[in-house]
Chain A
């Protein structure tokens, strides 16, 4: 069972992508809905709004604890910001869920007029390049020693910027595969979930397909 944090953002698109690759899903708005999940997706949207709502409804700490305890998670765009241990250019004092040993720069690629889409190769995703949709997108400024860089693209100045990372069961992309119909990144995440120790052993914690 994969949760989709449903406080705000493109929840429906992530849910559809997950179900298309065979996952059962549950929307998560309150603490009780975290129980029994094999993984959780933090969608695109506004990170400040999601953190604010998560804090108001007592979801922030339980989510943080679940992820630190090993719950697999995938964050796209705002979701990447939520998973980052450190944020620059954010609202001062903006808390995150954390877990990923990375520093993320919010809106790093610029404002909406600079939003773009392009193909990019992503390590671990076989076949043609992934089509990345970058919307007021963040990039990863720096990564800790345990973090694997899965994809980079060049920014307008020509410098390579990190846009996809993985650290154990935590995956994050600056871009939005859920907007393209290409399901390979969600499939990749499900494989991460399945590789976690303990998955499929606990009753009720089972994906509907592929076990």
Chain B
């Protein structure tokens, strides 16, 4: 290999520049961050030790929270943003991005999380909503937001409020993937339907979706959301993750499924591998072996209406 490449022009005047100014918190920078997470697994962690296990297993990011959703369900009461000390401890423990949850509509929790320097905020139905009518105005923040959606209209409303990433809103803490599947199928089939509409029909579609016409038109043209779409809620096995990827998710969140299982490190690594090789059944069979006990699941028909998180948010 040559030590200097003569094909590279040497022009010192072109190197280094102080005239252009840097812009932070732009839509491209916020949405771009989610692009970098694609094909990856974001894991819920409650301690620095768990965060380290997640990083070593190949997580692309961790979600710092005080209790995983399964424990929030068990304990009941009001679930809020985590203690800043706890978030700081996790930020200090790992080199990968750290996300944290704010309550739906709780813009001051979001301000606090931004001040702490978290890399992404999840405006999450897993916590107890703080506002019954309004989500956070996410354009007002430098830090990007991910929001849950059960269908295309909900996804577009969140994007119009400034969400830079969307995830399905499967029932967190249940170990039951059925709701996440429903949301992913709903979003994908509504996207396909939008592409089949003519210009005039898009106005009515925007009304039905309760979403801004301009955004509906953009989505109809590009055939996908303008932001990255992940899946979340109830994933517990490598096969769950791979199925969601085959259904069109661009990456996965795993909450209680890892650290409520028998062998978290092994299960975490297996889910990471299954997310990358989601379309290779031989790899999926290999990584699904010998993972120990999965988390105990909850059948959703036994879950009372007030404990259904997906119905939180509007």
> Which A residues are closer than 8 A to B by beta carbons?
6-13, 29, 44-46, 48-49, 52-53, 56-57, 70, 77-78, 89-91, 106-107, 111-124, 129, 133-136, 145-146, 148-154, 158, 160, 166-169, 176, 179-180, 191-192, 195
Bound complex: CA A151 to CA B11 (Å): 10
Which of B14-22, B71-79, B178-186, B200-208 participates in binding chain A? B14-22
Contacts of A179 in B (CB 8 A): 28, 32, 35
Bound complex: CA A129 to CA B20 (Å): 10
- Known A8-B60, A113-B143; contact A44-B117, beta-carbon cutoff 8 A: no
> Which B residues are closer than 8 A to A by beta carbons?
1-5, 7-11, 14-18, 20-26, 28-29, 32-33, 35-40, 55-61, 95-97, 114, 117-120, 142-144, 269, 272-273, 276-277
B124, chain A: closest CB distance, angstroms: 18
- Known A9-B38, A115-B33, A123-B8; contact A150-B15, beta-carbon cutoff 8 A: yes
Q: Which of B16, B24, B55, B96 contacts A113 (CB 8 A)?
A: B24
Bound complex: CA A90 to CA B95 (Å): 7
B8 closest partner in A (C-beta): A148
Contacts of A116 in B (CB 8 A): 22-24, 26, 29
- Known A10-B38, A168-B1, A176-B32; contact A112-B97, beta-carbon cutoff 8 A: yes
15 contacts between A and B (CB under 8 A): A9-B36, A44-B35, A46-B36, A46-B40, A49-B58, A52-B272, A53-B276, A116-B29, A133-B32, A135-B29, A146-B1, A152-B15, A160-B16, A191-B7, A192-B7
Contacts of A120 in B (CB 8 A): 17, 20
CB pair A124 B40 closer than 8 Å: no
CB pair B119 A136 closer than 8 Å: yes
Bound complex: CA A129 to CA B143 (Å): 27
Taking A123-B14, A154-B17 as known contacts, 13 extra A-B pairs with beta carbons closer than 8 A to each other, sorted by chain A number, are: A48-B95, A53-B58, A91-B56, A116-B29, A134-B29, A135-B32, A135-B36, A136-B97, A146-B2, A146-B3, A166-B5, A168-B1, A169-B1
- Known A168-B5, A179-B32; contact A49-B273, beta-carbon cutoff 8 A: no
B275 closest partner in A (C-beta): A8
CB pair B60 A112 closer than 8 Å: no
